[in-house]
């Protein structure tokens, strides 16, 4: 069995409070388990930076780390943080429309999906 196949694990998770300290705590918890992990996908770039600080392994060789949000500072870290970019301006437009439509008498409940984009940099 290949290294990646032998290490693949599903369902390993930890929680964080979207801060660097929270990312550190969550990564420490994950690494302290007997379950090997290939990657960490953080709920925010800030949490991912905290995870990077406490990784104690070679990133991305041993574990890939990916943030979420495409924070402008993501590329400044060493290694540069891979992230999932969100179209925040479009999200704001859609939110405003969802809030105004019922007020103006237009049908309100609908599902909105906005595209995201993986920004591959040095941590994946």
Domains and CATH numbers, the chain: 3-86 (3.40.50.2300)
- The three-state DSSP-derived secondary structure of 30-49 is HHHCCCCCCEEECCCHHHHH
What was the pLDDT predicted at 35? 80
pLDDT in tens, 5-52: 334 445 678 888 889 999 999 988 888 887 888 888 999 999 999 998
| Pairwise CA distance, residues 50 & 43, whole Å | 12
Q: E strands along the chain, which residues? A: 39-41, 64-68, 82-85, 117-119
Q: What is the pTM of this model?
A: 0.76
Exposed, middle or buried: residue 82 (CB in 10 Å: 0-12, 13-18, 19+)? Answer: buried
Q: Helix crossing, 20-32 with 45-53: angle to 10°?
A: 50
pLDDT digits 0-9 by tens, 71-103: 888 888 888 999 999 999 999 999 998 888 888
Q: What's the rounded Cα separation, in Å, for the pair 13 and 35? A: 11
Whether the predicted pLDDT of 104 surpasses 50: yes
For residue 75, how many other CB atoms are within 10 A of its CB? 15
């Amino acid at each position: 069995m290949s290294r990646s196949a032998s290490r693949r694990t599903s369902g390993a998770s930890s929680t964080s409070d979207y801060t660097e300290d929270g990312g550190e705590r969550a990564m420490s918890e994950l690494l302290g388990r007997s379950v090997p992990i290939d990657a960490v996908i953080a709920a925010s770039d800030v949490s991912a930076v905290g995870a990077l600080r406490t990784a104690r392994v070679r990133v991305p060789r041993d574990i890939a780390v990916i943030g979420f949000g495409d924070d402008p500072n993501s590329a400044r870290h060493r290694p540069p943080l891979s992230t999932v970019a969100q179209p925040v301006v479009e999200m704001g437009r859609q939110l405003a429309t969802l809030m105004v439509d019922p007020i103006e008498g237009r049908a309100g409940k609908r599902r909105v999906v906005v595209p995201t984009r993986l920004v591959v940099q040095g941590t994946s």
